Amino acid sequence: MVNDHLSTRPHPHEPTDTVDQARTTVVAPRGLTAFLVIAFAFSWTAWWAGTHLLAGANPMLVVIAGGFGPMVAAVVVTAATSGWSGVGALFRRYSLPRRGGIAPYAIAVLVVLAIAASGAISLHLRGATVDETLLNAALATVPVQFLLIAVAGGGNEELGWRGFALPRLQGALPPLAANVVLGAIWAVWHAPLFSMAGTAQSQVYFPAYALLCVGLTVVLGHVFNASRGGVLAVVLAHTAVNVVSGLKATLMGDPAGVTEVALVSLVAVVLVTATRGRLGLGRSGGTGR
């Protein structure tokens, strides 16, 4: 049991079925470098090619295509290191039963409210009001937006970032450090989008975006750990964040700025303080037992 925090391999004298790979939150970091290389290569190639081929046209299709890089990398590396049974376990992270109850969703609500509050504060400071016609039109599209973003607009990344990468980072680093590193990686992964006209990132300063990514990653990491290695709650949280951020930008013309970064960071700090840096990860690590 001493090495449970470093590996999900069962002890030689234990039954081989005692570890459910679909419920691990801490594993040995095997394959992590290959995952990052493939994820970045897939996404950056798609975004680079799109920038040159589209020549000023709407970049959304190539942005979406590149967004599948983390998922593709997770599947490829898992297949190479653990075979198709490992790939099956990877996709079973989407299962819902016994995944931490309401706690993961309550954590997600905190960060969504923080983003919404940043918009309200911005309105108050400017003495502005929301156009009700525009608000109603935007709200009418939310169900469709939520579905599309969950499938191909951010939620699709989570099988890679949380389902594959985070357990391996948590196998090499303490939970807080693992999530901060993943947040920095996530920010850099988005880098090509900052020079692509028409993307949300092109309207944001990279330093502010990087801080936002780290704060969100800390929150999403807690959601993942509270979900006992499940990614469905993380997909829903990531999707809700993107939907609310999109509404905020549409209604207020207010991309991620100081207020949003500060409030999201505050939520992250509260979670870190409340969990003493464990972010929902038990002292013995998560081995899916």
pLDDT digits (tens, 9 = 90+) for 157-197: 999 999 999 999 999 999 999 999 999 999 999 999 998 88
pLDDT digits (tens, 9 = 90+) for 74-92: 999 999 999 999 999 999 9
The per-residue pLDDT of the chain, averaged, comes to 89
Q: Where are the alpha helices (DSSP H) in the chain?
A: 32-54, 60-66, 69-91, 103-126, 132-140, 142-152, 158-160, 166-172, 175-189, 206-226, 232-252, 258-274
In this predicted structure, what is the pLDDT of residue 4? 39
Q: Within a 10 A sphere around the Cβ of 179, how many other Cβ atoms?
A: 31
For 32-47, write each residue's pLDDT tens digit.
999 999 999 999 999 9
Is the pLDDT score of 203 beyond 90? Answer: no
